[in-house]
Amino acid sequence: MAKSTLVHKTPAQTYLNGEWREGSPAVLAPNMQAMWLATVVFDGARSLRGHMADLDRHCVRVNASAQFLGMEPIYTAKEIERLTREGVSRFPEDAELYICPMYYAEDGFITPDPDSTKFVLSIYEAPLPEPKGFMALRSSFRRPARDQAPTEAKASCLYPNVARSVLEARQKGFDVGVILDPAGNVAEFSYTNLFYAKNGVIHTPVINGTFLNGITRQRIIQLLRDDGIEVEERSIDYAELLEADELFCTGNYSKVMPCVRLDTRALQPGPLYQRARHLYFGFSDES
């Protein structure tokens, strides 16, 4: 039997132990700390035809996530950025890629041994999804508070809860859930940040420690405000979404996508969503 298998069906390049390898090589063993105690963090960036918007911020964040979980980053953010550009150069110039730097701990009981921190950089082909829109409904699951889970890190251990909300939505004929925070306010969609528009103003949940302040989210807010569009960051009640003129999400994988159905209500991609998407890709193409 082969020692490793390809996880991704599309071409991939992986930087591991100081060298680039084709495909997605196996890295974890059963007794490794990360395997059974879940000390794994990652980040996600994009290369779209060679343009890597906010790559520097993603590289900074993965190191911060590692430190938050008790690991010791072994590369600087600048070094990760350099490795990423090196890896992207191994693909065709017009490739649409997902960039995933990761840290994991090999040793330690309960708490990781910082000296055992390992780094992997995975880059693979992942076409940007068409902006056809998605359907959402209120989820029965909530985001944890910052004293209940490592919510300030982009940690793999948070994603089983994300998966529960997605599975629940799919079983009911939807794509994702609208997740509330522990106080009952809207936090986000299952795995993307949430925005809605009403009467020409865009609203988004204020960052409160229960969900990540997404890098694409931050960029969209800045671009919209610079364009003269009012964006309010505040606590949002779910009932407000049911009265929204537009509803859309931001996230690294698909960037900016419209919600076309919320529970029983149909929605259309509106002018403010279209403006946000136009502004973002105008910025991205210059990166």
Q: Does the pLDDT of residue 171 top 70, yes or no?
A: yes
Mean pLDDT, rounded, for 188-199: 98
pLDDT digits (tens, 9 = 90+) for 99-151: 999 999 999 999 999 999 999 999 999 999 999 999 999 999 999 999 999 99
pLDDT digits (tens, 9 = 90+) for 234-265: 999 999 999 999 999 999 999 999 999 999 99
What pLDDT shows up at residue 7?
44
What pLDDT shows up at residue 38?
95
pLDDT band, residue 285 (cuts 50/70/90): confident
pLDDT digits (tens, 9 = 90+) for 61-89: 999 999 999 999 999 999 999 999 999 99
pLDDT digits (tens, 9 = 90+) for 37-61: 999 999 999 999 999 999 999 999 9
DSSP structure string for 33-102:
HHHHH--EEE--EEEETTB-TTHHHHHHHHHHHHHHTT---SS-HHHHHHHHHHHHTTS-TT-EEEEEEE
Q: Which residue has the higher pLDDT, 243 or 6?
A: 243
What's the CA gap between 81 and 97, in Å, rounded?
Answer: 15
- Report whether 45 contacts 52 (CB < 8 A): yes
What pLDDT shows up at residue 74?
97
User: What does pLDDT average to over the chain?
Assistant: 95
What's the CA gap between 193 and 210, in Å, rounded?
Answer: 12
Query: 81 phi and psi, to 5 degrees?
Result: -60, -40
CA distances from 271 to 49, 163, 205, 211, 255 (A): 26, 31, 20, 27, 17
What pLDDT shows up at residue 190?
98
What pLDDT shows up at residue 2?
34
What pLDDT shows up at residue 10?
67
Domains in the chain: ranges and CATH? 12-125 (3.30.470.10), 134-151+158-284 (3.20.10.10)
**Bridge partners, 96 (sequence order):** 48
